[in-house]
C-alpha cells in the first residue's frame, strides 16, 4: 500500500511540476499607433489655356506656379494635370494643377490622392473667393462650396466636404449680372501691384500646412 501511495504521489508531483514548467504564452499585442503620413497634395484650382492664365479665377494656379518658381522646382505633364514635387523638412509636397478645367477638378484630385496614397487631412485646395476682400486669406478645415464649381466637383467626387481649403479673396467689385465676366477677368493694375506680396504669403502657408499643421496654420495666417 505504501509503495502504491508513493508511486501515486510521485506521479502527481511530476505532473504538477510539468505544468508549472510550461512556458507562459502571451498573445501578441496589437500596435495601436496610427502611422502619420508625411505626403501632402497641394491643389491649385484653375483653368488651362493662355486666355485664363492671369484671371482672378486662376489664383490657385498662380499660387502653385509662384511657389514652384520660388523653390526651383518644375511641373511635369501627368495624367489629369501638371505635377511638381517638393521636399521640405521630411515632408513631400505634390503640387497639382488639374487640366480638367474647373468643373471637373474633383477627378484629378481623387486620382492623385489615391495614386499617392495621401489621406484626406493632408489635402489643401487653393481657390478664389468672391466673399473675401482682395488678397484676404481664409483657411478652413471644411465647409460649403460657396457656389464655386471647382469645389462642387471635389465635393461630389470625394463625397465629403471635410478637406482643407485655402481661400484667396478676389472681392466682389462687379456690377449686377457681371459676376462671370469679373471672375474670368484679369487683375486690375492695383491688384497686380499687390499680388507678389500675397503670393509670398501663400507660399508660407503651403509650407506651414505640412510642417506646423492645420490648427497652427489657421491661427498664424487667417485674416492676413
Whether residue 155 lies in the annotated active site: no
DSSP state letters, 3-51: HHHHHHHHHHHHHHHHHHHSPPP-PPPP--PPP---EEEEEE----SGG
Exactly one of 26, 57, 148, 155 is catalytic; name it: 57
Residues 140/165, Cβ–Cβ less than 8 Å = yes
Residues 133/171, Cβ–Cβ less than 8 Å = yes
DSSP state letters, 165-186: EEEEE------TT-HHHHHTSB
Q: What is the dihedral of CA 159, 53, 218, 110, to 10 degrees?
A: 20
For 38, the grid coordinates are 508625411
For 192, the grid coordinates are 497686380
Distance CA 134, CA 50 (A): 23
Active site residues: 57
Amino acid at each position: 500500500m505504501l509503495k502504491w501511495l508513493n508511486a501515486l504521489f510521485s506521479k502527481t508531483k511530476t505532473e504538477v511540476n510539468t505544468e508549472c514548467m510550461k512556458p507562459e504564452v502571451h498573445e501578441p499585442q496589437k500596435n495601436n499607433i496610427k502611422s502619420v503620413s508625411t505626403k501632402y497634395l497641394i491643389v491649385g484650382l484653375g483653368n488651362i489655356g493662355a486666355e485664363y492664365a492671369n484671371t482672378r479665377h486662376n489664383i490657385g494656379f498662380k499660387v502653385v506656379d509662384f511657389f514652384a518658381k520660388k523653390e526651383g522646382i518644375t511641373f511635369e505633364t501627368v495624367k489629369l494635370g501638371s505635377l511638381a514635387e517638393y521636399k521640405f523638412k521630411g515632408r513631400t509636397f505634390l503640387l497639382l494643377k488639374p487640366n480638367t478645367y474647373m468643373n471637373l477638378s474633383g477627378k484629378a484630385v481623387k486620382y492623385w490622392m489615391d495614386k499617392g496614397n495621401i489621406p484626406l487631412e493632408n489635402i489643401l485646395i487653393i481657390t478664389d473667393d468672391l466673399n473675401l476682400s482682395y488678397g484676404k486669406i481664409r483657411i478652413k478645415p471644411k465647409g460649403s462650396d460657396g457656389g464655386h464649381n471647382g469645389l462642387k466637383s471635389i465635393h461630389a467626387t470625394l463625397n465629403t466636404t471635410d478637406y482643407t481649403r485655402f481661400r484667396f479673396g478676389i472681392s466682389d467689385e462687379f456690377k449686377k449680372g457681371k459676376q462671370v465676366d469679373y471672375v474670368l477677368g484679369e487683375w486690375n493694375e492695383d491688384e497686380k501691384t499687390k499680388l507678389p506680396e500675397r503670393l509670398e504669403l501663400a507660399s508660407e502657408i503651403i509650407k506651414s500646412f505640412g510642417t506646423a499643421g492645420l490648427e497652427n496654420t489657421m491661427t498664424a495666417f487667417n485674416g492676413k
